[in-house]
Homo-oligomer: A and B are copies of this chain.
Amino acid sequence: MFEGIFTPIATPFSDDEGIDYEGMRHNLERWMKTDLEGLVVLGSNGEFVFLSEAEKEELVGWVVERVSGRKKVMAGTGCESTQATIELTRRMARLGVDAVLVLPPHYYRGRMTDEILYRHFTEVAEASSIPLFLYNMPANTGIHLSASLVARLSRHPNIVGIKDTSGNIVHLAEVVRDTADDFAVFAGNAGYLLPALALGAKGATLALANLLPEDCCRLYGWVREGRLEEAQRLQLRMLEINFLVTSGLGVPALKYAMDLLGYRGGSPRRPLRPLAESERKRVKEALVRYGALELDTPCSKEQGP
């Protein structure tokens, strides 16, 4: 059973674009001390599209070993072909992850009918020894997993949840309505964490939890406890910085914000580039307004609201 807050971890790179395992170790140690329920490796925020097959295997193995069961670990395994997705899923299962998060194939989006996608996800689920989360991410894939498709797939015993990053709150509500109680609907962005939880989402996988894990967990707890007013205030406060590190300025902003708050974000791989000075200023000011950073102070803190 999956619930609670997961963070899709950023992959810090050194200046020569190699994976910075020392930075990764540093981040892991901090996340381990939080209330996060789990981590997602090889997600969109982890720049999985820039990693080779060998790097993916090495990185996930490394994370699983260090987490060693203290938190759940998911790995992203969506590839364009069904066969490649199955093979990567199996490799991840062997490395010991708890579940895989599977993006739909999307290059031939015009052909990705519900039927094609149903067969794809079903074949992957059949071939996998570990549970599968669907990953609805229209902004990056151009494909929207319809509520009826998700409902149909949710009946497969090995498909246990969905990360929904569509931002369409009615769609999320329909998915909650049309899936069983133990199917884990997860919000995919902190911009609508409160409304998603209020509608019955079980948890969330949030880029923002890379840098503000405790506040994300706090908001989750407050909605669970019915403390709606406090939850609302925190939700509204989160919007600005969350926008910047996700749809606003993307992974480079996420990494820069992590750097500002004492994590190791590092550089993105090319073609992504570090933020321009004016963009860095926007991120810094948003963190100050949020209360996570003091003005003109290099170091940082994550404060309670």
List residues 61-92 of chain A with CB under 8 A from any CB of chain B.
80-84
CA distance A192 to B52 in the complex (A): 38
Binary CB contact string for chain A from 183 to 216 against chain B (1 if under 8 A, 0 otherwise): 0000000011011101110000000000000000
Binary CB contact string for chain A from 107 to 132 against chain B (1 if under 8 A, 0 otherwise): 11111100011011001000000000
List residues 4-25 of chain A with CB under 8 A from any CB of chain B.
17
- Asked if A167 is an interface residue, CB under 8 A from chain B, the answer is yes
CA distance A121 to B167 in the complex (A): 29
CA distance A252 to B116 in the complex (A): 12
Please give, as numbers and ranges, the residues of chain B lying within 8 Å of A304 by CB-CB distance: none
Are B108 and A272 in contact, with the CB atoms below 8 A?
yes
Interface residues of A (CB under 8 A from B): 17, 44, 49-50, 52, 80-84, 105, 107-112, 116-117, 119-120, 123, 139-140, 142, 167-170, 173-174, 176-177, 191-192, 194-196, 198-200, 226, 228, 232, 235-236, 239, 243, 247, 249-252, 269-273
A-B contact pairs, 25 of them (CB 8 A): A49-B81, A49-B108, A50-B84, A81-B269, A82-B271, A83-B270, A107-B140, A108-B251, A110-B250, A111-B249, A111-B250, A112-B271, A120-B270, A123-B270, A167-B168, A167-B169, A167-B170, A169-B195, A170-B191, A170-B243, A173-B192, A173-B195, A195-B195, A195-B198, A195-B199
